[in-house]
Amino acid sequence: MTNIPLAQADIGPEEARAIAEVVESGRLALGPKLTEFEQAMADYVGVHHAVAVNSGTSALHLILEGLGIGEGDEVITTSFSFIASANCILFVRATPVFVDIDPTTLCIDPACVKAAITPKTKAVVAVDVFGHPADWSELERIAEEHGLLLIEDSAEALGSTLEGRLCGSFGHAGIFGFYPNKQITTGEGGMVVTDDDELASVCRSMANQGRGEGDAWLEHVRLGYNYRMDELSAALGVAQLSRIGEFIEKRMRVASWYEEELAVWPELITPTVADPATSSWFVYVVRLSDDFDAAQRNAILAALEREGIGCRNYFAPIHLQPFYREVLGTKVGSLPVTEHVGARTIALPFFNRLTRDQVARVAAALRAAIDEVQRG
């Protein structure tokens, strides 16, 4: 049988035409498509500025750098995320302080954030995990009360909302990522989104080797990086963003199929979207019940892979990664909810063009794998 991948981009004729137009124009960098994509993203999210860059990681790095976060500062964040959200804190020589997550949304727990604040705390980086918005109302209240910068890692949540407000518009600034498994893709790519005029200007300068806006090509006003997005990627982004409504509808449909197949299984906890949030569904991650351990989860993943089913343990807690244990001295037992969840997650195939029959095949393979593990 044909393998079912974990993720797959939805690329159509519109995207092919957009890329061809850029190739034919001969303008492959720093051209009109970059500006068009930035403006379209700012308009969509409802912010004043969007700065396109080569990855979501670069976007988050620029925000931290641009806000003056640095050595001696502590930044509270989640360990249940892709590793880049913590790495960027180390990029600016600040210290990540990991706190636990809400067991339902899997986003950072505001009560844990509040408990972790010290005189060294400068900022909070919260993640909209798997496309589910964090508790931004409470996080904004805590940040304001303690004079903290609040940064939204919305790399996984383009199109998700909380109380009618789109992800990416919370906090002081936010980011998106456009890797091929995201809601829209530019191949590689990311975006800074903010209402802060000065921060947007600084991020744009740093992304372009430290050049000031309007300055000559070989004039550099600050330390910068080559984080630019090229015209081909921007053109792909414009075409993809124009289809975001269609994409979210498809992803919600696939999620509903999985819910129909899996919700009644006592061995699984299926993802929920807590009102008043909506999710644009980055991935579909189920959790095994407390009766299972990490070794059994890994055996189930291996069984699915043997059947040609793409799957992964989303996420492996950052604080337990060898590098972080060495650098920060983090240990097992420090974040019980994160560790409990991280030992039992299974990301199933999830993308726009996944069919109902493929979802049924995934469910059947998962059922067989669970039964095999339970038999021992």
Q: For 78-138, give the secondary structure using H, E and C.
A: ECCCCCHHHHHHHHCCCEEEEECECCCCCCECHHHHHHHCCCCEEEEEEECHHHCCCCHHH
What is the identity of the amino acid at 299? A
Give the whole-angstrom CA distance, residue 87 versus residue 98: 12
Tell me which of 33, 114, 182, 331 is the catalytic residue.
182
182 is catalytic: yes
Q: Is 255 helix (H, G, I), strand (E, B) or coil?
A: helix
Beta-carbon neighbour count of residue 51 at 10 Å?
32
DSSP 240: H
Q: Is 366 helix (H, G, I), strand (E, B) or coil?
A: helix
Peptide bond preceding 13: is omega within 30 degrees of 0, i.e. cis?
no
What is the identity of the amino acid at 303? A
| Structural tokens at position 256 | 């509903």
Give the whole-angstrom CA distance, residue 229 versus residue 344: 37
Task: Point out the residues that are catalytic.
Answer: 182
